[in-house]
Structure 1
Amino acid sequence: MTRQRIIQPVVDLLRRPNGPRDRQLLYGDTVKVAEATEGWSRVISDKDDYSGWLLSDQLGPEVPETHSIAAPATHAYEQADMKSRDLTSLSFGSKVQALSEHGRFLETELGFIPAIHTAPISGRQADPVSVAELFLGTPYLWGGNSRFGLDCSGLVQVGLLACGCACPGDSSDQERELGLVVPEGSPAKRGDLLFWKGHVAWVAGDNVLLHANAHHMAVAFEPMDQAIARILAQGDGPVTAHKRL
């Protein structure tokens, strides 16, 4: 298998060529190309081993990436000037190669990116919930993994990957693989995860959840007891697991 990287800001990872979106990959994400046919490539994502199809022209050769986007989103500009024309937008977690420094900007192959919106590629965040809170108000998007749209498992994954913690892409796999079961009746703590069938939420504080959900159609805070009752009432069942990382 060959290795390549994503060269578009956000790319849908599809179940089959022209099929439904399962997840997304971001600019600079690296993949292994398992097969290619008629303009499509089946790839395996390096960050979580997720497999799917994308258009072959969304891939390019690997480069030594130096920085990741540390703001919720940023722009690449035509010049090292915030008033110059913006060329593209990038989400948190995208990875770029800095070619040179120009005052408050980094020159990249995409254009000039505000240095304050970046962090060294080797850097790690300390608190996954704080990372998830950067996405507050982001619209809900099934299979989404970017500031432009997220689903519940995408919100969990972005926080953990930013902290250097391995995390699968689907909530069912997250429930199986992440953390330890908290004994029934124990209080929830910030950083815990609550799971339902097909859903997951961060515990953000005392009786507060943070989750990307279709009720709010956004990443939102919600009282924990209210969310548990609402999800049960709408027919999606009780909490299936309370996990601590």
Structure 2
Amino acid sequence: MKLDRRLTPANARVAAAALKGLVEAEAYVEGEAACVRAPLTDICRDPAGDRERQLLMGQRVVVYERVAGWAFVQAAADGYVGYVPEAALGAVVAPTHRVSARLSQLYPEPTIKCRETAMLSFGAQVVVTGQEGELCETPGGFIPVQHLTEIGTRTPRLEVAQLFLGTPYLWGGNSGAGIDCSGLVQAALRAEGHDCPGDSDMQEEALGEAVALDAPVAPGDLYFWPGHVAMALDGARLIHATGHFMSTVIEPLEAALARIEAAGYALRARRRLG
């Protein structure tokens, strides 16, 4: 059985205990739970290597190794494996709210007139401990109440996707500061309550049911090309984060299909979630 490196918590030194007998490693460990405490952190293939995806504040991980300031982790939400700066992690918390604006501010004091200490992306999770006026208090600072929603609240996927319109394209991006095609789909589907893998090929394999390429379009249908995914807004328009425009855009469906095919990428699949 061939294991997907991106989803297999193993390196040359350590591996998850459950992988004993499947992969070779010097040690097999159970790992320890942790939470991302940084506003945003890259998850990299190698320590200090290229970004593969990103993790947001409040997301849980299992840590299998800590070495030279880096932690080898697996994300709890989608199983993605890689290295994050050890300083980006903290103790496990039970978030009460998530950021529902594309971007929000974190203030050190209960006033919007002070200088913010960080920006938080849509999907970041926090523990709200109180409220002062129009700001919610968290252990890390204060966040506008208008920018938060309770954990468990479901938001329609197309509403979330359109929230990211104009967001710069960023390879491996998962935030309101920069996002890629699969990151946009993952953010939209998670907000609606669906589990969703991190990369477009994984999404093509795991999400929904296959639909004929020429079947009538339903809002929310996912279109897959090699290395790319887009979401139908309706029968005439797609929304996607694309390197062609370096942005999240709405594009006419027929124009997008023709443009991408002309670039040498044939439409490979359509998938539909309930």
TM-score, normalization by structure 1: 0.97
Aligned residue among 215, 225, 233 for 2:254:
225
Tell me, yes or no, if the aligned pair for 2:164 and 2:176 is still in contact at 8 Å.
yes
| Superposed displacement of residue 77, structure 1 | 1.5
Tell me, yes or no, if the aligned pair for 2:103 and 2:119 is still in contact at 8 Å.
yes
Q: Match of 2:120, SS? A: strand
Ranges of 4+ aligned residues in structure 1 off by more than 4 Å = none
Matched residue, 2:269 = 241
- Partner Cα separation in structure 2 for residue 90 and residue 184 of structure 1: 38
| Superposed displacement of residue 33, structure 1 | 0.4
Deviates more, 1:114-123 or 1:207-216: 114-123
- Partner Cα separation in structure 1 for residue 269 and residue 94 of structure 2: 40
Q: Which runs of 5+ in 1 are unaligned?
A: none
Tell me, yes or no, if the aligned pair for 1:7 and 1:58 is still in contact at 8 Å.
yes
| Superposed displacement of residue 68, structure 1 | 0.6
Q: What are the equivalent positions in structure 2 for 1:53-132 lying under 5 Å apart? A: 53-125=83-155, 127-132=156-161
Matched residue, 1:201 = 230
Tell me, yes or no, if the aligned pair for 1:87 and 1:110 is still in contact at 8 Å.
no
Q: Which runs of 5+ in 2 are unaligned?
A: 1-30
- Partner Cα separation in structure 1 for residue 42 and residue 214 of structure 2: 40
> Which of these two proteins has the greater Rg computed from alpha carbons?
2
- Partner Cα separation in structure 2 for residue 63 and residue 214 of structure 1: 36
Question: Are 1:177 and 2:206 counterparts?
Answer: yes
Q: Match of 1:159, SS? A: helix
- Partner Cα separation in structure 1 for residue 213 and residue 249 of structure 2: 26
Tell me, yes or no, if the aligned pair for 1:131 and 1:162 is still in contact at 8 Å.
yes
- Partner Cα separation in structure 2 for residue 184 and residue 23 of structure 1: 29
Tell me, yes or no, if the aligned pair for 1:196 and 1:241 is still in contact at 8 Å.
yes
| Superposed displacement of residue 43, structure 1 | 0.5
Task: Please tell me the residue identity of whatever aligns with 1:221.
Answer: I
- Partner Cα separation in structure 1 for residue 176 and residue 116 of structure 2: 17
Tell me, yes or no, if the aligned pair for 1:153 and 1:170 is still in contact at 8 Å.
yes
Task: Please tell me the residue identity of whatever aligns with 1:91.
Answer: S
Percent of aligned pairs with the same residue?
44
Question: Are 1:210 and 2:239 counterparts?
Answer: yes
| Superposed displacement of residue 64, structure 1 | 2.3
Q: Deviations over 1:119-156 (max 9, x none)?
A: 1112222x211111100000000000000000000000
- Partner Cα separation in structure 1 for residue 145 and residue 66 of structure 2: 37
Aligned residues: 243
| Superposed displacement of residue 183, structure 1 | 2.4
Task: Please tell me the residue identity of whatever aligns with 1:244.
Answer: R
Matched residue, 1:142 = 171
Higher relative contact order (CA 8 A, sep 6+): 1
- Partner Cα separation in structure 1 for residue 33 and residue 268 of structure 2: 38
| Superposed displacement of residue 222, structure 1 | 0.5
Q: Match of 1:86, SS? A: coil
Task: Please tell me the residue identity of whatever aligns with 2:222.
Answer: L
Q: Match of 1:79, SS? A: coil
| Superposed displacement of residue 82, structure 1 | 1.6
Matched residue, 2:77 = 47
Tell me, yes or no, if the aligned pair for 2:213 and 2:269 is still in contact at 8 Å.
no
Task: Please tell me the residue identity of whatever aligns with 1:106.
Answer: C
Task: Please tell me the residue identity of whatever aligns with 1:15.
Answer: R
